[in-house]
Structure 1
Amino acid sequence: MDIRHFRYFLAVARHRNFTRAAEQLGVAPPTLTRQIQDMEAELGARLFLRQARDVSLTEAGAALVIEAEATVRQFEAAQRNAQRAGRGDIGHIELGYVASAVYSGLLQKQVQGFAGQYPDVSLNVRESPMASLPNMILEGRFDLGYIRCPLSLPDGIEGVRLSDEGFVLALPADSWLNRLTVINSAHLQNENFILPEQVVGTLQVAAQGDFVPKLGAQPGGLVAVIALVSLGQGVAVVPESVVGHVSLPNVVYRPVKDCSASSWLALIHRRFEKSPAVVRYIERVKNG
């Protein structure tokens, strides 16, 4: 027996009439009769009592109705779920991000927008070190990642360029630099630079000021970087989105007037992504 037999059986059980059941099913009455006879032969029990115009369920038939209904419901649910998974309407996504994606508000906007449109796709969102995130996606430990570029990506990983932003200088409140009305790159030549994960801002400030930067610690995430600044360990060139979002004692944010350095957030993914849910997310980001 297959699912078709159960559907034929339930149609006859509902209509109590082979002709009406056959009309509903779109099959010829003799075909329906033969299918029910095949079921009875395989089960070794009669399912219907044939009367002049209608039929009624036998005890075996009445017992089968409950199981047949459950089987058809489960089969149809499996079909629907498979179809939805194939379209990307259900599934699971592992998503990594760097902290500045949160400070910019972009991560929240895109994750919440996707979740609202596809509520049956589960999202596991975790902060991750930016240097390791591209390879973790390549290895399948993450599906997607928000990073700050420019950053060299391994073969097989592509990025969708998102919002651009400039840099600001984070410095201790008691730094002599705060006595300046305007801070230029050249003023920073003797400073110790705490390095965020994205170092392009630091390097471009040094290039603009025509000096080789004195490099300090590279503690990881932006909060850790700014924490060292608050402890008087040096200054840091950080994305401007941290202003108003990371406020620590003894830290002041100032623009560097002649610094035009910028970076951008990017959503990175596997080049030949196969998961429909992940592809849905990428397409939604690309389409805005």
Structure 2
Amino acid sequence: MELRHLRYFVALAEELHFTRASERLNISPPTLTVQIQEIERTLAAQLLVRTKRSVMLTSAAKVFLSETQRVQEQFSRAENAGRRAERGELGRIEIGYVGSAAYTGVLQDQMNRFIREYPGVYLNACEFPMESLPHLIADGEVDVGFVHLPMTLPPFLRHHVLARDRFCLAMPAGTFDAATETAPVHPQQISDASFIIPEQKFGTFQVARRGNFTPRIISPPGSLLAVLTQVSIGNGIAVCPGAVRIIVNLPSVVFRDIAGEPIVSEVAAVFRVSEAAPAGRNIITQIQDTPAKGRYLEKSNNR
């Protein structure tokens, strides 16, 4: 039995008239008769009581009609779901991010905008170590990753910058005397300091390069909150994205500008060049249409 048989039977059951049902189905009455007989043979049940003046449903036909209508409704939903999935309106997207990327708000902005546009797509967001995200995206375990640049990407991945910031220093309170507590810090001033290094090492090594020293790193790379906690208990200083200054408020931690030209901190979304999933392509399009926010190109007056 095929779906067309169900369609023929429902039309006849609703019309209770072979000629009208045939016209509705755009087939001849004899063809409709043959189709109904095929259904009866398959079910081994009589579905119709037919006289010269009327067509009536048997008790078996009434039960069969109810189930057939459910099948048709489910098929219609399946067709609709398939079309919506092809348009990227249904599905699931795996989002990976590093904690520092969430502080800028770009992760939340992209997810909230996408959910409003495509409420049928489920976004599953998980935090990952930054160095693992490119491999997870390349292997298909993550669809879009939010990271801090710079980082090395496989050739079949691309990135789009969403936020630009400048690095700053997170230091234990009292590192410098009160008279210079708010002044920008020259890299040479911290050449002997102990460094707590975050996942994005770029800022730390840029500061060291400017100060012409090799940083003394006392802990392996960790999440931004773990790094700032180490700073708060006096274990060292850290070079962090500037966005944390207005979000993180830990006891005994002060944030200081770095003297000289801004050391750029960029947050970007990373994705596959040839994304096959329609929902994935939709979120990538949204990301690529989003201009980067931030004004790091303005020269610092902290010289």
Q: TM-score range by the shorter chain?
A: over 0.9
Partner of 2:108: 108
The one-letter code matched in structure 2 to 1:221 is S
Rounded Cα–Cα distance in structure 2 between residues aligned with 1:197 and 1:126: 16
The one-letter code matched in structure 2 to 1:204 is Q
Partner of 2:296: none
Partner of 1:195: 197
The 1:93/1:178 distance shift into structure 2, 3 A limit, reads farther
The one-letter code matched in structure 1 to 2:150 is P
Secondary structure in 2 aligned to 1:132? helix
Residue 204 of structure 1 pairs with residue 169 of structure 2: no
Partner of 1:38: 38
Residue 57 of structure 1 pairs with residue 57 of structure 2: yes
The one-letter code matched in structure 2 to 1:279 is R
The 5 Å alignment of 1:1-288 reads: 1-176=1-176, 179-180=179-180, 181-288=183-290
Deviations 1:116-150 (A, max 9, x none): 22122112111111011111222232222111111
Secondary structure in 2 aligned to 1:194? strand
The one-letter code matched in structure 2 to 1:227 is T
The 1:137/1:178 distance shift into structure 2, 3 A limit, reads farther
Rounded Cα–Cα distance in structure 1 between residues aligned with 2:55 and 2:19: 11
Q: CA deviation at 1:188?
A: 2.0
Secondary structure in 2 aligned to 1:233? coil
Rounded Cα–Cα distance in structure 1 between residues aligned with 2:154 and 2:187: 32
The one-letter code matched in structure 2 to 1:161 is V
Deviations 1:135-193 (A, max 9, x none): 12222322221111110012432222221111111111110266423322222222222
The 1:177/1:255 distance shift into structure 2, 3 A limit, reads farther
Rounded Cα–Cα distance in structure 2 between residues aligned with 1:26 and 1:264: 63
Rounded Cα–Cα distance in structure 1 between residues aligned with 2:227 and 2:200: 11
Q: CA deviation at 1:205?
A: 1.6
Partner of 2:301: none
The 1:265/1:36 distance shift into structure 2, 3 A limit, reads same
The one-letter code matched in structure 2 to 1:35 is Q
Rounded Cα–Cα distance in structure 2 between residues aligned with 1:210 and 1:235: 17
CA RMSD of aligned residues (A): 1.8
Q: CA deviation at 1:219?
A: 4.2
Rounded Cα–Cα distance in structure 2 between residues aligned with 1:253 and 1:237: 10
Unaligned runs of 5+ in 2: 291-303
The one-letter code matched in structure 1 to 2:250 is L
Identity score, percent: 41
Contact kept? 1:184, 1:259, Cα under 8 Å = no
Rounded Cα–Cα distance in structure 1 between residues aligned with 2:121 and 2:28: 43
Q: CA deviation at 1:90?
A: 1.1
Secondary structure in 2 aligned to 1:161? strand
Secondary structure in 2 aligned to 1:273? coil
Q: CA deviation at 1:29?
A: 3.1
The one-letter code matched in structure 2 to 1:109 is D
Instruction: Normalising by structure 2, report the TM-score.
Output: 0.89
Rounded Cα–Cα distance in structure 1 between residues aligned with 2:90 and 2:234: 49
The one-letter code matched in structure 2 to 1:185 is P
Q: CA deviation at 1:81?
A: 1.7
